[in-house]
Structure 1
């Protein structure tokens, strides 16, 4: 029984029409694709200028071309949702969700039912590259689960309809990881999907036990990680210990999947339902290969405008990118993830994390860690390991980090049984509590 498709149909998401449109878009050749994108951009802008009072208030009179349209930030959406909906849409007849809040206060947003359907259709298409069918493929899911009883039951129902077995990532102790392995021995999982850090921690457990997961779960085809950064050494570890290809999914709740690893190993950007730009600090388009702000436009969402929307990430397109097939070369983290130092210097939080990661893994049996800047000159490093770091190793780490950052900084190490995660189960590797 195709429970997943049936569940979308019962919610009145027109999934068949959405799939048909994606097939039509796929058939457009490269030479005509820029014209197709320009037409879709004009269509969604004109719609919201005519039917959405919120968007009208953001656009200056006389804005006649794409580059003159405003770049909207999350702060622009910090008003009640009903004031941002287009005419003829109400909260009763749209899909409503909210952002994670990892870059500030979460915002509620809406998608009309066709827009949400085409997002799902795109998702289905990409997972299909790896032989995954949402109606029949069993998923090992690494996401958080709500503690609220009603929300918990709702999530359980959704998991049943989508053939998902959800592992608890609130407990990643040695005992819990062992119990997790036993589930893989009993269930014919087709794929793993979820937060990077939790799956990496499980892979480290498998390495300690000298186990390749596919040998105990031979049905496993692929691992699809999302929501957190995937570093190359972690990808190597995952592919070795899981015994299957690792796919990197990048997206956000507002836009859906932005980039997805294709079978050629390229991080292919969605050019069917989205228009993605890489801009400099002045809002000017950057040449391929250069790093800048990621700006996203939803080409189908008529209920709620996400037009030239800054999602808060930095990245760069590959030089091989085309209008039909843009490739994300790299993703360098969030715009607000910076360490502000006493000298006024700013260090990119993710770069800082990568250097710390390399030093700590070379200095001891570190399973995972999190860096928190508590003061302008103080960093707390919470870590999980079998053995505590010696004072000598702590001093070496601190000295190396000072060489990268600057002298006069304080590093405080806390060994923990497990790290604190967000309510959703996400681990943010670097956090600054210091205001700019």
Structure 2
């Protein structure tokens, strides 16, 4: 018996006329805004005034301690996981924070609702799924309080760069905009609610660079956001070709890292500052670069420790894992959350004058990228494994210019038939000329720092 197969959301989008695509995209934007910026949102933004980070460290830590103890008390009372693991006491100083247990991704993966307050209506939660930089799928839930408090610090920090939310902006990311097989523009779509030009990061082939720059100029974008590798590709083209860049006030990047040398190329080409940020989908933005290239923790939004394998603070100048306690929500709290990323703790005060904790570098964030046979550089492919069922860990390896192998460490519930959807997802970004295979492995190699890289290129650049 043949079953009726309904078209997927992506198929509906792909076959819709342009005007309907724009309606669909803006409808999704309305849904997201209902979570992110409703009600007294501007008061939240004001509470994250960037001037805060110039206050004395002792004053910042006193505020954090009071806020932390309120969070711990509410989590013990309302959230099943923390009711079991948190001691019933008040911390006398932030130095006692390492005495509390850390939260791993595996604990969330086993039972994500264990991290949700018992009094939260599950129907009001925002389900999120991310593969993260390690390639290990993770499902978690956020309430509206968390999503608003994730967004507010980022919107507040725009003022430092002379920008504000609501001004025309451009974003390069992995959001699906157009089929990979499209060979003519547009490779972007305008989101009216955000005044955002959402650009595909997966169509950045040399032949298309002029089209991207043209639409950036025509839309009059004021600032840019998204993947730094995308902005670097355009910057290199501008410097080599002499093509006219848009007049931007700033470029604020996320999701991945590039070298300081590449960052300087972007600034030279676009004639504006570029700021790299660090954050995760689970806890929002955590740190922003200052003009001296240090990453400053957004201490009004979170406490970010840099710890050793035992969960204890590393010495200044040393590298350790970033462990974050966010103040975003007591309904879906993350307390001492192990991000899996590494940072090098600064040994002295930053010349910029800010007194929040700072990092010299974030390690393991400069992902390898895939080079396609037609010359495109594709980065941040962790999301293509989302359709897979029972994937414990994964790694995408380029073993030849036209061949990709997706290596999978299976969980007990691994479903081999789901890998076809993974291959199809990868095909949308890597194109029809790329051979895409998958294989099961017992374990995946780590870097010297113990980090699992999700994308590796095993051929010369």
Matched, 1:69 2:95: no
- In structure 2, list runs of 5 or more residues that go unmatched: 1-28, 180-187, 382-396, 403-429, 437-452
Give the CA deviation at 1:294. Answer: 0.6
Pick which of 80-89 and 11-20 moved more.
11-20
2:456 matches 1:431: yes
Of 139, 146, 154, which residue of structure 1 is paired with 2:169? Answer: 139
Q: Which residue of 2 aligns with 1:315?
A: 343
Q: Does the alignment pair 1:40 with 2:67?
A: yes
Mapped to 1, the partners of 2:293 and 2:273 lie a distance apart of 10
Q: Is the 8 A contact 1:112 1:302 kept in 2?
A: no
User: 1:402-434 CA deviation, whole Å, 9 max, x = no partner?
Assistant: xxxxxxxxxxxxx9999999xxxxxx784399x
Partners of 1:141 and 1:169 in 2: CA distance: 9
Cα distance per residue 1:289-337 (max 9 Å; x no partner): 2111110001232112210001110111212359951112111116xxx
User: Per the alignment, in what secondary structure is the counterpart of residue 129 of structure 1?
Assistant: helix
Contact 1:129–1:263 (CA<8 Å) still a contact in 2? no
Q: Could you tell me which residue of structure 1 aligns to residue 200 of structure 2?
A: 168
CA distance in structure 2 between the aligned counterparts of 1:420 and 1:333, rounded to whole angstroms: 27
Residue 356 of structure 2: aligned partner: 325
Q: Does 1:256 align with 2:284?
A: yes
On the 8 A contact 2:176/2:200 being kept in 1, the answer is no
Q: Are 1:90 and 2:143 matched, yes or no?
A: no
Instruction: State how far apart, in whole Å, the 2-side matches of 1:244 and 1:191 are.
Output: 9
Give the drift of 1:382: 5.6
1:245 equivalent in alignment to 2:277: no
Question: How many correspondences in the alignment?
Answer: 352
What residue number does 1:232 align with?
A: 260
Moved more, 241-250 or 316-325: 316-325
Cα distance 1:429–1:55, how it changes in 2: closer, same or farther (>3 A)?
A: closer
* SS of 2:200 mapped into structure 1: coil
How much has 1:96 moved relative to structure 2?
Answer: 3.8
C-alpha distance in structure 2 between counterparts of 1:158 and 1:304, whole Å: 32
Structure 1 segments unaligned to the other structure (5+ residues): 150-155, 335-348, 361-365, 373-378, 385-414, 422-427
Alignment-derived partner of residue 198 in structure 1: 230
With the length of structure 1 as denominator, give the TM-score of the two structures. 0.69
Aligned to 1:52: 79
Superposition map of 1:104-119 within 5 A:
104-119=135-150
**Equivalent position of 1:397 in the other structure:** none
Shift of 1:59: 4.0
Match of 1:407 in 2: none
**CA contact 1:173–1:417 (8 Å) conserved in 2:** no
Counterpart for residue 153 of structure 2: 122
Q: 1:265 to 1:147 in 2, by over 3 A?
A: closer
Deviation of 1:381 after TM superposition, in Å, equals 5.7
SS, match of residue 278 in structure 2: strand
95-104 or 75-84, larger mean C-alpha shift = 95-104
Partner SS state of residue 171, structure 1: coil
Distance 1:173 1:157 in 2: 18
Q: Give the conservation status (yes or no) of the 8 Å contact 1:52–1:86.
A: yes
Q: Residues 103 and 41 (structure 1 numbering): CA distance in 2 closer, same or farther, change over 3 Å?
A: same
In the alignment, is the contact (CA less than 8 A) between 2:256 and 2:380 conserved in 1? no
Question: Is 2:168–2:220's contact at 8 Å kept on the other side of the alignment?
Answer: yes
Contact in 2 for aligned 1:224/1:248 (Cα 8 Å): yes
Partner SS, residue 213 of structure 2: helix
Q: Residues of 2 paired with 1:132 and 1:148: CA distance?
A: 29
- Secondary structure in 1 matching 2:364: strand
Q: Secondary structure at the match of 1:208?
A: helix
- Which of 14, 17, 22 in structure 1 is aligned with 2:48? 22
